[in-house]
Amino acid sequence: MKKIVSRDNTHIKQAAKLKNKKYRQQQKLYLIEGQRLVNEALMSNQVVEKVFVAEDFSISDEMNRRLQNFDCYLIPPALFSSITDTENPQGIAAIVQKPEPDRDILADNITCLLLLDQITDPGNMGTIIRTAWAFNFDGIMLTPGCVDPYNPKVVRATMGGIFHLPVYEIDEQVLDGLIRSGYRLIGSYPDACNSIYEVDYTGPIVVVIGSEAQGISPAISERCKVKAFIPVNSRVESLNAAVSCAIIMSEANRQRQRETLSCDQSCAIIRLD
């Protein structure tokens, strides 16, 4: 590993600047922290540009082998703290290229997408991305006003999910194009007539989740032809956005897996005949 001791080093300055959203967007880079995230990035198809290791951090032999093919820099603990976003950094961080999401996936007629409308809390955003990965969603779309998905707090909360799901920042034109191509927008509303367990989540769909404070915005709401509520105790005013999203995605995943299984069984019967 190469050693860096100065705050004026170009690599250190670059890493520190990645705390800023505008700089992340300009450079198309972001910073990840912690052994778990770095390890996940190294094993995935992410482009890891450089890795920083604090001098007092103990690297496992397996991690050390993985780092052999990357630009790695050993830096003093105080310098490491200056580039990270956490109060007690774990001692390893990396600069990763922001991926260019493949927009062809939006044209797939079996795609299951999630649309987040003005979700501003980093913890909620990160948890939702992680949960969407867990429940086999194909991608996440964000309206203007959402928190940056590459915000350090969001990235940590995804627990690696950010490496496995395409994230699209979209406008109403993109949404209208999806509707014309056959997508159904399914919105979550506490006053809807049907529960989420009465809604068909198969086929090309977009599950829409609004902010806790304002719900789904009027412009998006008018495009939601299907509306559903989550049945809960009537004394509970509302659920956290990430929790609501997880409940709906779980039901969507259950239905879609059941449909896939039924299709596979039908195909098997046809082959036997």
Which domains are present in the chain? 2-97 (3.30.1330.30), 103-265 (3.40.1280.10)
Q: What proportions of the chain, in percent to the nearest 5, are helix, strand and coil?
A: 40, 20, 35
Give the confidence band of 230 by pLDDT, cuts at 50, 70, 90. very high
245, amino acid identity: C
pLDDT digits (tens, 9 = 90+) for 172-181: 999 999 999 9
H/E stretch holding 92: strand 92-97
Q: What is the DSSP string of 156-184?
A: HHHTTGGGTS-EEE--HHHHHHHHHTT-E
C-alpha–C-alpha distance, residues 5 and 134, integer Å: 41
Report the distance separating Cα 40 and Cα 44, nearest Å. Answer: 6
**What percent of the chain has pLDDT above 70?**
93
| Res. 185: pLDDT tops 50 | yes
Q: Mind listing the pLDDT tens digit for each residue in 56-99?
A: 998 888 888 888 888 999 999 999 999 998 888 889 999 999 99
Residue 263 pLDDT: 56
Rounded Cα–Cα distance for residues 236 and 175 (Å): 32
Q: What is the pTM of this model?
A: 0.89
pLDDT of 45 reads 82
For position 267, what pLDDT does the model report? Answer: 54
